[in-house]
Structure 1
Amino acid sequence: MTARPDGLRARRTRKLLRDALIELIEERGFDRITVNRLTERAMVSRAAFYRAYRDKYHLVEQVFEEALDVLVAAVAEDDCVDTRVERWIGFFEHVGEYRRLYGALLGDRGSPWFAAKMRATLERTVAGHFPDPAADTLTPALVAAMFVQAITWWLENDRPVSEREIALRTIRVSAALLADAGIGRPING
């Protein structure tokens, strides 16, 4: 069975817009990007943009949410430590695959909005593993901030270690924080 042409066209449009977004963030910074500049750079119509996205924030959210949906579902459904570790490694692999986008969004010319959204989403994911999430809001916030900072450091330093290594280092430190909060246990490995 072949894909419908408009399905292929829509995927192509999304890819062109994502590529244009990265280039423009690197050149101008996220805050100075307009939908008009995005569509001009991507060579797609404004109508095509608005068929796929509400605004530039929605475009950025979609890339991040695609990766996070897989991670959140896997972590939420599986209490096996080894599986959760592999999911976090997979998340860092996603970041590595889209390193230009994440580097642009989290770097100096990036978006404080995106960094805050990423932290908040990761914080909710971590808090979901607490028996009483309202009892300790600091630990999930620290873990989320640590993951965002680890990603930022890793990208700004041109990925000096593998996805697996940065994920394992970050997981070990976060596991120690969680163990100190009475959730889980330290991870060795």
Structure 2
Amino acid sequence: MERRKRRTQKLIIDTFFKLLNEKSFDKITVNQLTKLADINRGTFYLHYQDKYELLEGTIKDYINHMNQYCLHNKEEISSALTLAFNYLKDNYKFIEPLLRNEGYQLFQNELKSSISSFIETSDLFDLHVVSILKKKAITSTILGVIEWWLLEDELNASPSDIAAELKDIVFLIIR
């Protein structure tokens, strides 16, 4: 992607999050976004069909970045989980507005899909032994802990502590 296009997309996304911190998603308009970003509406529409595509694309990008960030640690669950929790903590200022807006369900679905994919592709789980029910339980457990940590604990517990406890819980499920 050319440099100018990346810079414009970053400007749109940064402006979107600025607005998302000020008001709910349903109150944000493309017109407000383009005025604040100092771009014309046509420029916005070159990159996104509407604000919903912007929201969905942004969430997918954050989840994909998290996956890439954690990819090299698929062999060790606590390392992968620690990296994932570190990524979520480092990007909390962008993720937090999604959690309290319309993006919550989209974020939750993308995260759930990412966790399921991790379980399916990781060497940590003998997929012949781990039943579908156990895979679902592991996915739900990890997702539930992430949501609790982000929404209720507000990042107070350290990523490594959360990952260590979560690893123990996951292996209890597998047994």
Mapping for residues 16-55 of structure 1, pairs under 5 Å: 16-30=11-25, 33-53=28-48, 55=53
Of 92, 96, 103 in structure 2, the residue corresponding to residue 99 of structure 1 is 92
Shift of 1:34: 4.7
Mapping for residues 121-136 of structure 1, pairs under 5 Å: 121-129=114-122, 130-132=125-127, 136=131
Matches of 2:137 and 2:91, distance apart in 1: 24
Q: Is the 8 A contact 2:59 2:106 kept in 1?
A: no
Which residue number corresponds to residue 85 of structure 1? 78
Mapping for residues 1-189 of structure 1, pairs under 5 Å: 7=3, 9-30=4-25, 33-53=28-48, 55-56=53-54, 57-71=56-70, 73-76=71-74, 79=75, 81=76, 84-107=77-100, 110-129=103-122, 130-132=125-127, 136-156=131-151, 157-178=153-174, 180=175
- Letter matched to residue 117 of structure 1: E
Shift of 1:142: 2.3
Matches of 1:99 and 1:117, distance apart in 2: 16
Aligned length: 168
Aligned-pair identity in percent equals: 22
Q: Which moved more, 1:96-105 or 1:107-116?
A: 107-116
Matches of 1:70 and 1:104, distance apart in 2: 22
Matches of 1:135 and 1:162, distance apart in 2: 29
- Letter matched to residue 115 of structure 2: L
Specify which structure has the bigger relative contact order, considering alpha-carbon pairs within 8 angstroms and separated by 6 or more residues.
2
RMSD (Å) for aligned C-alpha atoms = 3.1
- CA change 1:44–1:93 in 2 (3 A) is farther
Shift of 1:13: 2.8
Q: Which moved more, 1:45-54 or 1:18-27?
A: 45-54
- Letter matched to residue 125 of structure 1: F
Shift of 1:120: 1.8
Matches of 1:43 and 1:134, distance apart in 2: 56
- CA change 1:11–1:62 in 2 (3 A) is same
Choose between structure 1 and 2: higher helix proportion. Answer: 2
Unaligned runs of 5+ in 2: none
Unaligned runs of 5+ in 1: 1-5, 181-189
Shift of 1:33: 4.3
Shift of 1:96: 0.8
- CA change 1:60–1:139 in 2 (3 A) is same
What SS class does the counterpart of residue 111 from structure 1 fall into?
helix
